[in-house]
Amino acid sequence: MNKTRYNHYGIQAPKISWAVRWGLPIGIWIALILIWAFVLPGRVDPVKFPTLPSVIGSAGQMGMNLLWHTLATVWRTGSGLLVGGLLGVVMAFFMYRFPVVHYSTSSLIEAIRPLPPLALTIFIVLWFQLSPLGPLVLVAEGSFLIMVISTREALDGLPIELKRAAWSLGITGARFYRRVLLPAVLPQLIAPARLACAFAVSLATAAEIFGQQYGLGFVLVTARRSLNTETIMLVFIILAIVAVLYDLAIQFFLRILTRWSKP
């Protein structure tokens, strides 16, 4: 018998087995790796697309330095994402609660939002030079803009019936924001948080390219100068893994916080 379950929209959908959910993507990745390892060598210029053994050899040559560079990028990404994301959510609630805050800051936020954060990199380098605070500020700024706008829109989209029900039960003041509004908007912040995560990895790498002596971005720009495409491909792979792990961690954490919202 074909079992059914409800998706996030309350609609019945056929249950997908674990073999399909995990086996299919794993199989695709294995196929791509096999093609890279056994089909491309000799058919593609190794400078344009490095071979798998050369990429592995590049990792071996860097040794423990590769680990320290990776940890530096992981730290800058995570700390900037956490600081900027939390500040964005808190700022959105202040804008929702106090109209004067909304009208005094919304135009500034909307003016900064279209500007590419990478364009601010040169100023970050000038202001902070080689200080580790520079990448943190750049990553936090990008994460802040995504989360403050997403949270503000989520708050505006809440049904008035929810608010009236809370008020009729005597839930007001700080309890209203903590016990009603925050849980109500959390499910809508999963997608923006994932976007901010991917953006944070890019910003941390960009900051390291222009103004740091450690991190995967620094490794990337050093390898680019000598056209060391094996190391460049290695950095791309590590950045992808870091981004995926952060994304999975954010999904896991937020889905635990919003498990009550599942039908």
Residue 11 and residue 115 in one domain: no
Q: Report if residue 59 sits inside a domain.
A: yes
Residue 59 and residue 9 in one domain: no
Q: What was the pLDDT predicted at 119?
A: 75
44 within a domain of the structure (yes/no)? no
Is 171 part of any domain?
yes
- Same domain flag for 101 and 166: yes
Render pLDDT for 122-177 as a digit per residue (tens, 0 to 9).
788 788 877 778 888 889 999 999 999 999 999 988 888 888 888 888 887 888 88
Q: What is the pLDDT of residues 193-244, one digit of tens each?
A: 999 999 999 999 988 887 778 889 889 988 888 888 899 999 999 999 999 9
pLDDT at 2: 46
- Asked if 33 and 55 sit in the same domain, the reply is no
- Listing DSSP states for 200-260 in one string gives HHHHHHHHHHHH-SSSHHHHHHHHHHTT-HHHHHHHHHHHHHHHHHHHHHHHHHHHHHTGG
Whether residues 54 and 152 share a domain: the answer is yes
**How many residues does this entry show for the chain?**
263
Within-domain flag for 58:
yes
User: Are residues 6 and 130 located together in one domain of the fold?
Assistant: no
Q: Angle, nearest 10°, between helix axes 229-257 and 190-211?
A: 150
Distances (CA, A) of 127 to 2, 52, 73, 193: 61, 40, 20, 28
Q: Specify the pLDDT at position 197.
A: 93
* Secondary structure of residue 10 in the 3-state scheme: coil
Q: Is residue 152 part of a domain?
A: yes
Structural domain includes residue 103: yes
Residue 12 DSSP one-character state? E
1 pLDDT exceeds 50?
Answer: no
Same domain, 33 and 68: no
208 and 149, same domain (yes or no): yes
Residue 86 has pLDDT above 90, yes or no: yes
Residue 7 has pLDDT above 60, yes or no: no
**Do residues 55 and 33 share a domain?**
no
Partners of 44 in the beta sheet? 41
- Stretch 5-11: mean pLDDT, rounded? 54
- Per the CB < 8 A criterion, the answer to whether 59 and 236 are in contact is no
- Identify the domain containing residue 17 by its residue range: 1-39
Q: pLDDT (tens digit, 9 = 90+) per residue, 14-66?
A: 667 777 777 888 889 899 888 888 888 878 888 888 888 888 888 888 888 99
Residue 211 covered by a domain: yes
Gyration radius of the chain over CA positions:
23
List the one residue out of 27, 38, 69, 53 whose CA is nearest residue 233. 53
Whether 176 maps to a domain, the answer reads yes
Do 127 and 191 share a domain, yes or no?
yes
The pLDDT score that the predictor gives to residue 206 is 87
Find out whether 211 and 223 touch, Cβ atoms under 8 Å.
no
Q: Give the whole-angstrom CA distance, residue 92 versus residue 109.
A: 11
Q: Which helix (H) or strand (E) holds 5?
A: strand 4-6
Residue 76 in this model has a pLDDT that exceeds 80: yes
CA distance 209 to 215: 8
Q: Which residues is 6 bridged to in the sheet?
A: 12
- Residue 14's pLDDT is 63
> In this structure, are 249 and 152 located in the same domain?
yes
**Same domain, yes or no: 35 and 58:** no
Domain count, the chain: 2
